[in-house]
Structure 1
Amino acid sequence: MTAVRPAAAPPVPLPPARPAPLLPVPARVMELDLDRPDGPWAPGRSGPARPPDAAVPSVVALVRRSGRPLGLVALGPDGAGGDESLRARLVAAAERDLRPDPDGAPAPAPGRADRTPPTVTVVVCTRGRPTLLGDSLRALLRTDHPATEILVVDNAPEDDTTEQLVRGLAPGRLRYLREPVPGLARARNRGLAAAHGEIVAFTDDDTLADPGWAGALAAAFRADPRIACVTGLVVPAELDTEAQALFERYCGFGKGFAPRDWSRHTDDADPLFPFAAGRFGTGANMAFRTGALRRLGGFDPATGAGTPTRGGEDLLAFLGVLSAGHTLAYRPDAVVWHRHRRTPAELDAQIRGFGIGLGGYLTAALVHRPALLAELLRRVPAGARYALRRAAAPVTPADPAAPATPADRPAEDPRTGAALARLGRIELRALPRGPAAYLVGRVQDRRFRTGSRS
């Protein structure tokens, strides 16, 4: 029985001070609120959680108190069974390992409960994944924020399957848009241009949004006018395969359980700040003041999935927010659940894309803001050391006294394990391809724009 404790919220050192958790696989993923008598629930509050069984004997649960996420607890096969109810076993694990505050979540600050909450436009970009999209939209339709608009941007569709799904799922509650040119940044810009809300939030078609997600984002913006971007907690929606658990150990989208704020004046111990924009959050769970993002020019269409750059459009937007003098906030109360890639081949391709996207993002940052070059060069040595450490597999001589069976051996350190080091090498080798990929993407974008005007 193990637990992932909440982060203490100081700047994250390099390399990370605490290894990522060794999550059991396969495991039922669920959530539990200590202050509610019901539960546990399936991700996104889609219904009661399925209990563990012989095929899936373990459990990983997001534990909350009064809605506030506290951490993850994991019950292995030895802890998920027994005479007590599953809820009782999860509560016992949380009380022992997370030590939740008995007073519960802090009361909201006076004057924060506006009678007219800010409107939120949620943009979901998709391409050819109607089954995943349907689940994602059903979760969004369960939102408890009263002023939420949901836009679906169909990116370069090959048929009308997605359009038919959206128009038939919840008539009058969903808006369908089509972006004919492939590229996630272009699709997001299409949604940004059509958004009616004061806040525009982005998530992906492979996520399940918590019912309180949009409201938590809105509350963060309402609390501080300096905030122009908010990111939130991303929790795995399923842990069915080793590839999904490996992704979570290597670079899971979750950024901890403590709120953080950053600005250009932040005294941050990370030597890569502000270029290590991935630590601020991810495009699967991000929101902006609509006007601020439009003034920043939206997303660079030469970046993102569907372009040679394969990613980086969210990181570039985060850097743009900070460079413009705004505050970027991370609020773990804004929860979405993400379905990670299921197979080793899909995971390798994703990590390779991360490497190319990172190289493209850094190139785009200098193209848009050449004045950052000197600052970036000062951080190159620290960044190189960090990347090499992630890619270095330990060389451990065979121990004749080691237990004979893998189950009896000590768990390997997930930050230095050979499997994770292999992913680090995939990402590192792909990174140099990013600059050329970004330049090709710019040429393609120029041709698309020239063709659209002819």
Structure 2
Amino acid sequence: MRISTVICAYTDERWDDVHAAVDSVRRQRREPYEIIVVVDHNPGLHRRLKESLADCVVIENAGARGLSGGKNTGVAAARGDVVAFLDDDAVAEPGWLAHLAAGYDGPRVAGVGGLTRPLWPGERPAWFPEEFDWVVGCTYRGMPEGRAPVRNLMGGNASFRREAFEVAGGFASHIGRGRDRRPLGCEETEFCIRLRQRSPESVLLFDDRAVIWHKVPAARARFAYFRSRCYAEGLSKALVTASVGGRDGLSSERAHALRALPRGVAAGLRDLARGRPAGASRAGAIVVGLGLTAAGYAAGAMRRRVP
């Protein structure tokens, strides 16, 4: 099995991060078939990366500005049997590709994703609930452990068979990061759901042995970003449900809100009762985060109804 690895870059500010991501792929126990770096409408960065990453395929995003266009460009250029995606501000552990590849042990497996851990700019904020680690692009409490089928994979640590794109098409350019300044997302969620709607027998696997570490900038460790990201997630989910329907588009979110989040609030209150004030902060952040996400979804749904 040949695995092409795609890294999407867009800003000169992540110059060192992009090189660290590429180096982590070079050091994999299972050698990648090729490393593709897609630069999002930044000619200067494209020229610099093309010179510094001579052993990689460095190309410009041929689609719409944003992460979806970059991923689609990477898929179109890839020659491997499987296309794996790694965030430009993440580093993969040496066994990452090997564990992703091991998941394709059956013909029904269309995609495999892994565990994404946060690299905080210092200590983890005491108020930040693990149930909301998706805010900083990481695996969150409430996701399965070990190896298990899931509805969708997280885009910064995911892989798909090439045939999956032939069945489902590409990532939707109107969903996810792009020109909008809001921290939108969910392009991989919509793609995964669309894939399984068109190919119900397909299986998507989560394997927590396929580990990457995702850098969290100081600005994203603040409560202001937490609030804005939660609201933006609601807006993104409204776009997802408009594309694939509310039943599939919100199935995992309903389960998370009804199971993991109440447990998180209860755990925070127990910590408070034991003399740990940060427990109250975490419980409060869960309530605020859920409320803002719901508000964002309502606003996004209302926009769709207004002619």
TM-score, with normalisation over the residues of structure 1?
0.55
Q: What's 1:154 paired with?
A: 39
Shift of 1:193: 0.8
Shift of 1:307: 5.2
Shift of 1:333: 1.7
Q: What's 2:206 paired with?
A: 330
Shift of 1:436: 6.3
Q: CA offsets, 1:357-376, max 9 Å, x none?
A: 1221111213xxxxxx6777
Change (3 A) 1:147 1:161: closer
How far, CA to CA, are the matches of 1:257 and 1:226 in structure 2?
A: 21
The one-letter code of the counterpart of 1:155 is D
Q: CA offsets, 1:119-174, max 9 Å, x none?
A: 111111121132322221222221222343111111122x513531x223342x21
Q: What's 1:429 paired with?
A: 295
Alignment of 1:417 onto 2:283: yes
- Three-state SS of the structure 1 residue aligned to 2:29 is coil
Correspondent of 1:168 among 40, 51, 54: 51
Alignment of 1:240 onto 2:118: no
Contact kept in structure 2, 1:250 and 1:415, CA below 8 Å: no
Alignment of 1:137 onto 2:57: no
- Three-state SS of the structure 1 residue aligned to 2:128 is helix
Judging by fraction of residues, say which structure has more helix.
2
Alignment of 1:260 onto 2:148: yes
How far, CA to CA, are the matches of 2:73 and 2:281 in structure 1?
A: 39
More displaced 10-residue stretch of structure 1: 195-204 or 308-317: 308-317
Aligned length: 288
Contact kept in structure 2, 1:124 and 1:203, CA below 8 Å: yes
How far, CA to CA, are the matches of 2:77 and 2:149 in structure 1?
A: 29
Contact kept in structure 1, 2:131 and 2:260, CA below 8 Å: no
Gaps of 5+ in 1: 1-117, 263-276, 367-372, 403-407, 441-454
Change (3 A) 1:374 1:168: closer
Shift of 1:389: 5.8
1:368-407 to 2 correspondence within 5 Å? none
1:179-328 to 2 correspondence within 5 Å? 179=61, 181-221=64-104, 223-238=105-120, 240-243=122-125, 246=128, 248-252=130-134, 253-254=138-139, 255-262=143-150, 277=151, 280-306=152-178, 310-323=184-197, 324-325=199-200, 326-328=202-204
Contact kept in structure 2, 1:243 and 1:341, CA below 8 Å: no
Gaps of 5+ in 2: none
The one-letter code of the counterpart of 1:132 is D
Shift of 1:378: 9.7
- Three-state SS of the structure 1 residue aligned to 2:230 is helix
Correspondent of 2:240 among 361, 376, 392: 361
Contact kept in structure 1, 2:127 and 2:285, CA below 8 Å: no
Change (3 A) 1:236 1:374: closer
How far, CA to CA, are the matches of 2:72 and 2:108 in structure 1?
A: 23
1:344-355 to 2 correspondence within 5 Å? 344=222, 345-355=224-234
The one-letter code of the counterpart of 1:330 is F
How far, CA to CA, are the matches of 1:283 and 1:420 in structure 2?
A: 23
Provide the identity percentage.
Answer: 23
Shift of 1:340: 2.5
The one-letter code of the counterpart of 1:260 is A
Change (3 A) 1:168 1:236: same
Change (3 A) 1:143 1:434: farther
The one-letter code of the counterpart of 1:286 is A
When Rg is computed on C-alpha atoms for both structures, the one with the higher figure is 1
- Three-state SS of the structure 1 residue aligned to 2:185 is coil
How far, CA to CA, are the matches of 2:232 and 2:41 in structure 1?
A: 20
What value does the CA root-mean-square deviation take over the aligned residues? 3.7
Contact kept in structure 1, 2:7 and 2:88, CA below 8 Å: yes
Shift of 1:294: 2.7
Shift of 1:382: 7.2
